[in-house]
Amino acid sequence: MTIERVTPSYHVASVGNVEDYVEEPYEAINLHNLEHVPQVAALPADLRAQIQVVGNVLPFKSNKYVIDHLINWDNVPDDPMFRLTFPLGEMLEPANYRRMQAMLDAGATDDELKHAADEIRWTLNPHPAGQMDHNVPALDGRPLNGMQHKYRETVLFFPSQGQTCHAYCTFCFRWPQFVGLEDQKFAMREATLLRDYVEAHPDVSDILFTGGDPLIMRTRVLRRYIEPLLEPGGAPNVSTIRIGSKALAYWPQRFVAGGDADAEDLLALFKEVVDSGRQLSFMAHFSHPVELETSIVQEAIRNVRATGAQIRTQTPVLRHINDDPATLARMWRLQTQLGCIPYYLFVERDTGARHYFELPLVETWKIFREAYSMVGGNSRTVRGPSMSATPGKVQILGVSEVAGEKVIVLRMLQGRNPDWVGRPFFAKYSETARWLDDLEPAFGEEKFFFEDELNEMLSVQGSPWSRDDLALPMASPN
C-alpha cells in the first residue's frame, strides 16, 4: 500500500497588487465588443467563429478582470477559465451548431437568428427540477413570482434588479433568463412582500438572495431589500441572511475600497446585518482555484470576513474545468486557508450545455471521494456530490454491494418533505446514469420511497409550503 504525500506549503499565490486592480474599471465584454479584446483578436479564426455561433444560442458575457487576470491565454483553448467563460463549439449538439453556423454564414437577420436560437433553447430543458411551477409560494392566494420556497427553512428571493451577473459561466443553470427565454424571470419588486411572507412562515430561518447575482445591484438598491428585514420587530424568525454570488471570483473590486464606488457601503450593509444579531452568509461560487489566487480576491475575502460575515463556497463538478481530485482538493484547501467554508459540491444540472460539462454520477462520486480524502477535516465541511433534483438535494454516498447486488447509495441533504432527509436509499448500479431520473430503484423495487408523496405534491402548482392539505412536518419551536 502506498500513501500519497502532498508537498506541504502554506504559501498561497497572490498575483498582482491590489492598488493596480482597483484602478481598472469594470468593462463588460459581449458578442458585440469581443473583437476589440486583443487576446480574442489573436485567437485562430475557427475559435472566434465558434464563440459567435454558440454565443448566439447560449448566453455570453464576461469582463476585463476575468479576461486579463483569470484566463491563461497561453493555454487556450484548454484553459479551464477560458472554457468557463467562452461558449465553444462542443457546447452545442453538432446538428444545432451546423444550423446556427449556416444561418450566420447566409447573413440571416437578427429576428431569424433569434427564432432559430429559441427553437434550440427550448430543446435544452430550460426549466429543470420544476423550479418555475412547483416552488413558487403564495401570499393571500397571490403567487409571489420572485420567490421560491422548496425547503422548509429557506426562502429564495430573486430581486428584479439582480438578475444578471458580472460575467456568465458557460455551465450556468440559470442561462434561460440571460437570453430572454423566460416570460417571467424569477423576479419581484416588492421587498415588503418578502417580509410579509417570511413573517407568515415561522419555520423560515434563512432568506437567500439569489439571481443572477444580487451583488450586481448597487448597494442602495440591495439595502432596500435587506433593511426592512432588520427593523426592530421585523421578521424575528429570520436568523440568517444569505447572498448567493459569483462576484468574489469575477469582480472582487465590488468589495474593495477604490474599486466599485459603493464597495465600502456594501461592506457597511453586511456589518449592519451582523450587528442586528443575524448571520450573514455569503454563498460564494468558486469553480477553480485560479479564481482565488489574485491579491484582490484575497483582499475582498478579508474585507467581507472583517464585517463578521461568513463565506461558504460551492461549485458543480464540471468536465473540462475541475473534474480532477487534485484541483478540487487544492481549491478547498485554499478556501479553508483564506477563511472560507467549503459547503456544497454539486452535480452539473440537466439543462443547457450539460452534455459538455456532465459526468456519470459514479465518476462524480469517485472524484469527490478522492478529493475529500486529500484534505484536512476543516475542509471536509463540503458535502456532495449533490443533485438539486425535483424531490430535493440528493447526495451520492457511493457505490456498494448489498445482499449480492451492486448498488448506488443515496440520501437527501434537503427534501421537499423534510421527513425524507437523511434516509439512505438505493439505486441499481449504473455506470452511465447522469441524473436522478436515470436511476432505478435497487432490489427490484418499483419506486423510490419518496415517489408517491412527491407525485402528490407535484399534482398541484406552487410551493408545498403554501398548501394546507399536505400536512408537512413543521419545525419544532425552540
Ligand X SMILES: *Cc1c(COP(=O)(O)O)cnc(C)c1O
Q: Which residues bind ligand X (CB under 6 A)?
A: 135, 148, 150-151, 154, 156, 208, 388, 393, 413-414
Q: Which is nearer to ligand X, 100 or 382 (CB)?
A: 382
C-alpha cell at 294: 489574485
**Minimum separation from the CB atom of position 208 to ligand X (A):** 6
Q: Which is nearer to ligand X, 82 or 343 (CB)?
A: 343
Contacts of 165 (CB under 8 A, 6+ apart): 61, 178, 211, 212, 213, 216, 246, 250
C-alpha cell at 296: 484582490
d(CA 261, CA 259): 6
Q: Which is nearer to ligand X, 413 or 470 (CB)?
A: 413
Q: Which is nearer to ligand X, 134 or 223 (CB)?
A: 134
**Minimum separation from the CB atom of position 346 to ligand X (A):** 9
Which SS3 state, helix, strand or coil, does residue 243 take? strand
Q: Which is nearer to ligand X, 208 or 318 (CB)?
A: 208
Q: Which is nearer to ligand X, 304 or 387 (CB)?
A: 387
Residue 21 CB neighbours (<10 A): 23
**Minimum separation from the CB atom of position 57 to ligand X (A):** 25
Q: Which is nearer to ligand X, 252 or 391 (CB)?
A: 391
Chain position carrying cell 443547457: 352
Strand partners, 237: none
**Minimum separation from the CB atom of position 344 to ligand X (A):** 7
Of 263, 351, 251, which Cα lies nearest the Cα of 306?
263
**Minimum separation from the CB atom of position 194 to ligand X (A):** 15
**E-assigned strand segments in 389-458:** 392-402, 405-415, 425-428
Of 58, 120, 104, which Cα lies nearest the Cα of 83?
58
**Minimum separation from the CB atom of position 185 to ligand X (A):** 16
d(CA 79, CA 252): 21
Of 240, 241, 243, 239, which Cα lies nearest the Cα of 255?
243
Q: For 136, left (φ over 0), alpha (ψ -120 to 50), or beta? A: beta
Q: Which is nearer to ligand X, 154 or 276 (CB)?
A: 154
C-alpha cell at 404: 449480492
Count how many Cα atoms sit within 13 Å of the Cα of residue 44 in the half-sphere of its side chain.
7
Chain position carrying cell 474599471: 25
**Minimum separation from the CB atom of position 243 to ligand X (A):** 13
Q: Which is nearer to ligand X, 70 or 155 (CB)?
A: 155
**Minimum separation from the CB atom of position 20 to ligand X (A):** 36
R_g of the chain computed on alpha carbons: 22
Q: Which is nearer to ligand X, 303 or 395 (CB)?
A: 395
Burial class (CB in 10 A: 0-12, 13-18, 19+), 2: exposed
**Minimum separation from the CB atom of position 388 to ligand X (A):** 5
**Minimum separation from the CB atom of position 220 to ligand X (A):** 27
In total, the chain counts a number of residues equal to: 478
Q: Which is nearer to ligand X, 148 or 310 (CB)?
A: 148
Q: Please list, residue by residue across 344-383, b when 16 or more beta carbons sit within 10 angstroms of its beta carbon and e when fewer do.
A: bbbbbbbbbbbebbbbebbbbbbbbbebbebbeeebebbb
Type of residue at 344: Y
Chain position carrying cell 429564495: 156
**Minimum separation from the CB atom of position 403 to ligand X (A):** 32
